[in-house]
Amino acid sequence: MKLFITGLTGYLGCFVKHYLDDCNISYVSLSRKEGIIGNLEKWEGGISELDFEVLTKTKFDAFLHMAALYDLKASKAKCQMANVVGTSHALRIAQKLKIPHFIHISSIAAAINSPFPNVSPYDLAFDRDFPDFYSESKAQAEQLVRNFVGPFGRLNVRLGILVGDTQNGLIQRLDGPYTAIKAFESVRKMLKKWPGPLPLPGKETTTLPLVPVDYAAQSIVKLVDDFVRKKDHGTYQSVHLVPKKGL
């Protein structure tokens, strides 16, 4: 199996690369740093004519699109360019290279505004406000993949909240669930003096879909392999990559 991949130089991508190498899966990477040099914010990914000529002669089994901007404080323009325009260009590249399978790595943030207690991996709620531009852009990117008319199967993978790997807890930066650590750190002195149990806001039954990054990477490689083997050309599927029971 041979893959065309974006986002391989990112935090998640580094772990995916490890498992691809373990499985002896060959790949070509598009990034601003190494492999095929390009920029998905530019038309046709900023790939040179010479590189495109070489790529068109290569038979790829799947396009794995992981490249994205993850920043809850980023502007609407930055999120749109990286996550929506970037995904649109990735789809066009896959079409131009006649790659039969397209796998889009998304986030449960795409459905963060869902009104339903049990969210389907196909649910999108554009009639409701999003808490940030990142979430909105991920939902719009999913809609692009879902509605794209092309001769290839499309798989959308919604990742849970990524946390550090299971070996050493390595994480790229302290955000998301890790902000709770900062919050408790700021009131440490008060907590030490607090007499007895400390009541916290929220529901006791609420869980968080935390996914260690190494588990996520291993699962992505497995999902790609399964999707390619099924040969579901022209169909669209969406799945949640989350634990059966959250924390």
Q: pLDDT tens for residues 100-117?
A: 999 999 999 999 999 998
For the CA atoms of 207, 241, 45, 72, the dihedral, rounded to the nearest 10 degrees, stands at 0
CB of 64 closer than 8 Å to CB of 91? no
- What was the pLDDT predicted at 222? 96
In 3-state terms, what secondary structure has residue 99?
coil
Which tokens hold the place of 191? 């907590």
CA distances from 22 to 58, 77, 121 (A): 22, 38, 29
**DSSP labels for 5-72?**
EESTTSHHHHHHHHHHHHTT-EEEEEESSSSEE--TTSGGGG--HHHHHHHHTS--SEEEE------T
Q: Per-residue pLDDT tens for 122-149? A: 999 999 999 999 999 999 999 999 999 8
Model pTM score: 0.89
- What was the pLDDT predicted at 176? 59
Burial 119-131 (b: 16+ CB within 10 A, else e): bebebbbeeeebe
- What was the pLDDT predicted at 89? 98
Q: What is the pLDDT along the chain (247 residues), one digit of tens a residue?
A: 999 999 999 999 999 999 999 999 999 999 998 999 999 999 999 999 999 999 999 999 999 999 999 998 999 999 999 999 999 999 999 999 999 999 999 999 999 999 998 899 999 999 999 999 999 999 999 999 999 988 899 999 999 998 889 988 877 665 655 555 565 566 667 667 777 776 666 666 667 888 999 999 999 999 999 999 987 767 899 999 998 875 4
Phi/psi for 54 (5° steps) reads: -70, -45
In 3-state terms, what secondary structure has residue 190?
helix
- What was the pLDDT predicted at 180? 57
Burial 71-87 (b: 16+ CB within 10 A, else e): eeebeeebbbbbbbbbb
